[in-house]
Structures are given as C-alpha cells and as structure tokens.
C-alpha cells in the first residue's frame, strides 16, 4: 500500500490526545453530599472492572477512528505494479474505431460520436501532464505524433468515418510499436470500438507491460444484408455476345428479408429491377444476363435497399470487353488439321496456323496461346523466343511427335523425356476434374466413360519441375498431360502426338476442353475489382515509350489530380502498384497521359458487413484465451470508465474504505458512551436496592 498524500501521515500524532485523556482522566468532579457512604463503597467495588473495560474500548475506538481518518486524507492506494509509481510519466495510446459499422445509431446517437466522446472523457480523467497517441483505421502518418491534452482533444474532434478497416491485431501492434519507443514507464492502450467479431483475430503481444483496455460501444441492431460478390459465368466477354452475371447476397440477420428491392445498373442504365426474399442467416444468388453493346468497359452496379446498415448496399464490378483470343499454331511440313478444326469457326478466337519454317517471330508477342506441334522443327532462336514468351506470362501448348524435335525447348523448362516411344495402347485412366484447368468442365465422370486410348506416348525421366500438375494419366500411372509453370507463364505438355498417330484423343470429346481451356486460361486475368485500402497491383501491356513513372496516374472515384503509382517494367509491359490502395468507393480510372487505359471498381471491405459484435462476456473470454491477463473490458457506462482510470493511473484507491472505517469507529464510541453506562447504572441500582432491602 502506498499514499498519494503521505504528508498527512504526520497527523497520526493526534492519537496522543485520547491516550492522554485516558491516562490522566481530565474530568471535573461535582461534590454530592450523602448521609451514608456505606452504599457508595459497595457501588464502587462492583463497577470497577466494568468501568475499566469500557474506558479501554472507548480509547481503542477513538484511536482507530483517528488513524482511519488520517489514512483517508493521505489517500492510500494499492499500485498495479511496484515499477509504476504515480509520479512517473504516463503515455496513453487511444484507438477510436471510425469504420463504417460505427455509423449506426443507438439510444445515445451515432456510435462514432459516442466513441469520440469516450476519448474526450479519457483526457478529462487522466492527469494533466499525460501524453497521447490518437489512432484510427486510417493509420495516418500523423498517428505517430505525440500530443498533449489540447492537441489530443482537437485530433479526436476531427475524426470522421472511414472506409478502411483493420484487425485488432494490426491495431494493437501499432499501439505497441508507438508505446515501445515512447520511453515512458507507464503505458496504457485503449481501443474504443463496437468490436465486430471478424476483426477479433489473435493479438501479437510484444510488450506485456502495456495495459490494454477494451472500451465497448454498444450497438443496437445486427440485422444487415450485403452484396458479397459478383461472378461472370463466361471466362471472356465480347461485344454482341450474351454474358451472365451471378450475384451473391447474404442475410446476416436473424429475420427473413421479404420483397427486398434489388436492381442492376450497367453503364448508368438500369438492366434489372426485381424483389427478392432471403432467409435469415442464409446466402442467396441470382443471375442477370445482358449483351454488351460496345467495346467499352462494362461498369456494373448492383444495389439493394436495406436498413439500418447501408454502406454495403452497393457492389461495383468492372467487366472489360476482351479482344479475341489470339491462338497461333506451329506445325510441321505435313500439317495438323485438328486444332484448326476446333478454332477456325469460333468467333471468340483469332486463329493462325503456320509452318515453323515460314513463321515470323514477331507474331509471338501478339499471341495469347502458342500451340507447337510435335512435328514442328524448333531452331535455337525459336527456343529462345518461346522461352521468353512463356516467362513473360504467355501460355504454350506443346505436343510430341514421332521423333522428338523439341528436346532443347523441353530442357529449357527443366523436363527430360525418354526418346523411345512406348507403343503400348493404353487408355486414359485419371482425369483431374477438380484441377483449376478443368474448372466448370465436368460435373461428374462416370466409371464407364468413353475415355481415349493412346497408342504411342513418351515417358518422363525423373520428376517433373516443382509446381507441375498432372492433369491426365494413363493406366499404369504414366502422365499424359501436364501443366508446368515456367516464369510468369505456363507450359501445357502433351506427351504423345496430337493427331491420329497418337490414338483416339483427337476424336474424343476430351480433346475440346484440352485445347479450348488452354486458350481461355491464356487470357490475362486482370483484377479490376478491389476493396478499400487494399493494395492495387495492375499488369498492363504497353510499349517501351510509355514506361515512365510520371506518365501513369490512377484517378480515385472523387476525381482530382490522381495518384502516381509505382511503375515496374515486366516482360510484356509494366506493373502499376499502389501499396495503400484507394480509400473511396466507386470507379477509379487508370490513365496514361491523356488516354484512359482501364477502370477499377473499389468496394467496401466485407469484414464490416456481418454486424455481429462481441458482448462483455465474449470480450472477457477473448482476453483470457489470448493471454491478455492485464487487460480490462470496460462496458459503455460512465462510472466504469472513471473507475478504470482511477485504478490504472492511481492504483486501487482505498481512501473511501478508510473513511467508512473512521465513521464506524466513531459510531462505536458513541454507542459505548451513550448506551453502556445507562445499562450498567440500572443494573447497579437494582443491586443496591436489593442489598438495602435485605439489610433492613
């Protein structure tokens, strides 16, 4: 136990006053004339022991009352740690949750305004010389500044709602890193939030001396409906061809949503307006079909009408209209008609078949998929050109002919094969239908499926390169078709001739997905949809003339001068990088000079959409589960916050306890002085009267 005002302890010398009164008996006696003192002598003898006990009890109660009263004025407390005296400096890190979930309204008003008010109350309750850090979901550079009380209150008042959202571990790490460099002996961290369940991940504790305080702001409703994602059924979109969107909506609440208004806008025009019903706690999907009428990017906005949480009622997606898939087929002198039969009449594919001797290497840069026939002659210059094509992100479909003419190309990607044919006729035994290559191709493959028979195939020597995936296998386990990653692209290796000499593959239905999926997957999978504050990384095909860092800009949804990304050259273009992403929702534009290259859809982080918040018991269980023994959970009550501040800054206060003890001891003294003598007097009078009657 320690004292905030130890100078008052000198007042303990006042206990000498009741002791002196007891020893010297400062009483004034009054003479009373009495005719016969015989009865007084009897009374004195009978009261002597009782009177002495009474005086001792009164003395003890007076001494204890003085001691308790003096200790109360000395403000005793039990410090939280012997290393944290109240005279040391105090650094406090305060996080105010300003995510979109804090825009809800409870009986006190906006959750964000209540959280800001709690932060201001902290500054009123803490000592005047306390220094502060103010932190929000924005993680602004200004949050690394140390503020006094006035600067802290000004910073809190300026907090506004943000689209950013971080986990509690990211928040606590920021607080720990700041407090660790403050040099103060006493460090407190406060997180003021509604504590949505998705943000409560595992905290990383780097400093066990920091006391974490969770200030819970109570929200009223967890009912919410959100649009989670939008998927495109077709792998590519082209002008004039039907496209289908699949929209996923989730009801996070406990009540069914009936007749919920739902609409879809494409390029500013409404395409769909309907009402939907979503059961409680369930996900719902609906499909919307449309035909792109131009080659411009299709800007899609899906919208629902839902209250009280409205920030996630819209979901945006950019659907770029693709060019035709450029497929180039290199054949031998005799040619191979089967790839041409598959692709020539397909409006989504631009197909060209060339002899390897008459092929212009400049066409490789324009290709999405290169099909190299097993009979094609591959000189060293073509090997180098194809290797660079794949490393830069291209796709290569390589089959083997009657004689291995692509040994150098195979060796460049780390594959060695036995040059001798295995002429045994073997049926395809295994199709990896769940592999990404075959995604959406098969619902099921029956046991008696008519799979192709391969007459001639090659065996691999050794293991395939790391990351390779065998997509087709023969009876006996030999691989037939593999996907081999190489650089930024991929090589599809077919270990047999892709014609009639290799068996029935070219006449089997399996031949179509084999080549067609390779063509579809060769299209660049450009991500055009991002969450707020998510790192944006874009790969773009550009000419060497435009690879200047100040040439590119990303204009956020509100407009303005835009942001200059980090530009990194790649094999087939450039990469644009915005590490901190974009904080506003809407459509952002990517421009080069005066030309618009593409657009990006920025949506809210879905972590805020669940609406489920932790209660007091859940928060306490969470702190115990993750070893936060010195943490406190403060519920949304004024007294609890004040008591928490007093306990942590000044220790466990005991002055109220000692003041109550002083009153109790004074009450005991009054009882002893007022009631005990009267009771004894009556008893003694009765004894005298009885003695007098017996004598008489």
Any idea which residue has 């949503």 for tokens?
257
Q: What are the start and end residues of each CATH 2.60.40.10 domain in the chain?
A: 225-322
153, 120 Cβ separation under 8 angstroms: yes
The conformational region for residue 120 under phi > 0 = left, psi -120 to 50 = alpha, else beta, is alpha
Going by C-alpha positions, the residue among 400, 369, 475, 396 that lies closest to residue 430 is 475
What's the CA gap between 489 and 381, in Å, rounded? 19
Please state which CATH number belongs to domain 225-322.
2.60.40.10
Residues paired with 509 in a beta bridge? none
pLDDT for position 686 = 46
What's the CA gap between 494 and 518, in Å, rounded? 12
3-state secondary structure of 107: coil
Neighbours of 160 (CB within 10 A): 8
Q: What are the start and end residues of each CATH 3.40.50.410 domain in the chain?
A: 90-221+611-650
3-state helix, strand, coil split of the chain in percent (to 5) is 30, 30, 40
Q: Could you give the angle at which helices 655-674 and 38-73 cross, rounded to 10 degrees?
A: 170
Which superfamily does 90-221+611-650 belong to? von Willebrand factor, type A domain (3.40.50.410)
What's the CA gap between 592 and 52, in Å, rounded? 103
What is the CA 555 to chain-centroid distance, rounded?
26
Neighbours of 259 (CB within 10 A): 9
Instruction: Give the C-alpha distances (Å, rounded to integers) separating 225 from 164, 209, 278, 313.
Output: 20, 41, 9, 8
**pTM confidence score:** 0.66
98, 75 Cβ separation under 8 angstroms: no
3-state secondary structure of 451: coil
DSSP run (H or E) holding 301? strand 298-304
pLDDT for position 440 = 73
Architecture label for domain 325-521: 3-Layer(aba) Sandwich (3.40)
Q: What are the start and end residues of each CATH 3.40.50.880 domain in the chain?
A: 325-521
pLDDT for position 141 = 86
35: which residues sit within 8 A by CB, 6+ positions away?
Answer: none
Across the 696 residues of the chain, what is the mean pLDDT of every consecutive 10-residue run? 76 82 65 61 58 81 87 75 52 92 80 92 85 92 90 94 87 90 79 88 79 84 82 77 88 87 92 90 89 86 86 89 87 85 87 85 88 87 90 90 81 87 91 86 82 91 89 93 91 92 91 92 77 86 55 86 85 82 90 86 83 83 81 67 64 77 88 64 45 45
pLDDT for position 684 = 45
DSSP run (H or E) holding 216? strand 211-216
């Amino acid at each position: 136990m320690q004292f905030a005002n130890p100078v008052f302890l000198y007042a303990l010398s006042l206990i000498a006053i009741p002791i002196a009164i007891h020893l010297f008996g400062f009483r004034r006696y009054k003479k009373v004339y009495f005719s016969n003192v015989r009865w007084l002598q009897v009374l004195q003898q009978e009261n002597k022991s009782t009177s002495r006990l009474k005086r001792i009890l009164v003395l003890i109660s007076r001494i204890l009352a003085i001691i308790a009263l003096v200790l109360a004025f000395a403000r005793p407390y039990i410090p939280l740690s012997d290393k944290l005296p109240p005279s040391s400096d105090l650094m406090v890190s305060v996080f105010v949750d300003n995510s979109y979930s804090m825009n809800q309204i409870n009986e006190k008003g906006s959750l964000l305004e209540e959280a800001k008010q709690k932060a201001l109350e902290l500054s009123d309750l803490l000592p005047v010389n306390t220094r502060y850090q103010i932190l929000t979901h924005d993680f602004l550079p200004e949050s690394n500044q140390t503020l006094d009380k006035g600067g802290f209150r000004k910073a809190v008042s300026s907090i506004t709602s943000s689209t950013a959202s971080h986990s509690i571990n990211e928040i606590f790490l920021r607080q720990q890193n700041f407090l660790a460099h403050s040099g103060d002996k006493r460090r407190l961290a406060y997180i003021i939030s509604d504590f949505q369940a998705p943000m409560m991940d595992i905290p990383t504790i780097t400093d066990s001396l920091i006391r974490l305080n969770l200030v819970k702001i109570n929200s009223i409703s967890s009912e919410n409906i959100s649009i989670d994602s939008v998927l495109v059924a077709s792998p590519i979109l082209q002008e004039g061809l039907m496209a289908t969107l699949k929209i996923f909506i989730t009801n996070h609440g406990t009540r069914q949503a009936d007749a919920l208004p739902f609409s879809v806008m494409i390029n500013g025009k409404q395409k769909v307006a309907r009402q939907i019903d979503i059961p409680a706690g369930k996900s719902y999907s609906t499909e919307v079909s449309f035909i792109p009428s131009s080659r411009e990017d299709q800007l899609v906005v899906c919208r629902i009408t839902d209250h009280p949480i409205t920030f996630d009622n819209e979901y945006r997606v950019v659907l770029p209209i693709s060019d035709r898939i450029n497929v180039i087929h290199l054949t031998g002198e005799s040619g191979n008609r089967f790839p041409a039969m598959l692709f020539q009449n397909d409006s989504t594919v631009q197909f060209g078949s060339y002899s390897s001797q008459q092929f212009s290497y400049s066409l490789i840069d324009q290709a999405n998929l290169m099909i190299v026939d097993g009979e094609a002659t591959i000189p060293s210059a073509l090997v180098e050109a194809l290797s660079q094509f794949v490393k830069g992100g291209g796709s290569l479909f390589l089959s083997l002919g009657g004689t291995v003419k692509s040994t150098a190309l195979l060796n460049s990607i780390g594959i060695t094969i036995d040059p001798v044919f295995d002429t045994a006729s073997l049926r395809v035994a295994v199709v990896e239908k769940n592999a990404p290559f075959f995604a959406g191709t098969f619902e099921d493959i029956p046991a008696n499926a008519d799979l192709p028979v391969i007459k001639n195939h090659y065996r691999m020597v050794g293991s395939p390169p790391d990351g390779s995936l065998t997509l087709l296998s023969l009876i006996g386990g030999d691989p037939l078709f593999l996907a081999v990653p190489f650089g930024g692209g991929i090589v599809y290796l077919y270990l047999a001739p892709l014609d009639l000499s290799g068996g029935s593959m070219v006449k089997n239905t399996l031949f179509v997905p084999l080549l067609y999926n390779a063509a579809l997957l060769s299209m660049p999978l450009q991500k055009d949809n991002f969450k707020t504050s998510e790192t944006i990384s874009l790969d773009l095909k550009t000419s060497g003339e435009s690879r200047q860092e100040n040439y590119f800009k990303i204009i956020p949804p509100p407009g303005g001068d835009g942001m200059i990304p980090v530009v990194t050259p790649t094999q087939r273009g450039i990469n644009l990088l915005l590490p901190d992403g974009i904080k506003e929702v809407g459509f952002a534009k990517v421009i080069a000079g005066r030309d618009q290259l593409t657009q990006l859809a920025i949506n809210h982080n879905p972590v805020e959409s669940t609406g489920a918040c932790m209660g007091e018991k859940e928060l306490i269980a969470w702190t115990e589960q993750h070893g936060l023994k010195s943490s406190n959970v403060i519920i949304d009550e004024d007294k609890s916050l004040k008591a928490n501040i007093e306990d942590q800054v000044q220790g466990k206060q005991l002055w109220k306890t000692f003041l109550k003890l002083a009153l109790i001891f004074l009450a005991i003294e009054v009882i002893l002085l007022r009631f005990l003598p009267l009771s004894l007097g009556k008893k003694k009078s009765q004894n005298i009267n009885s003695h007098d009657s017996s004598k008489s």
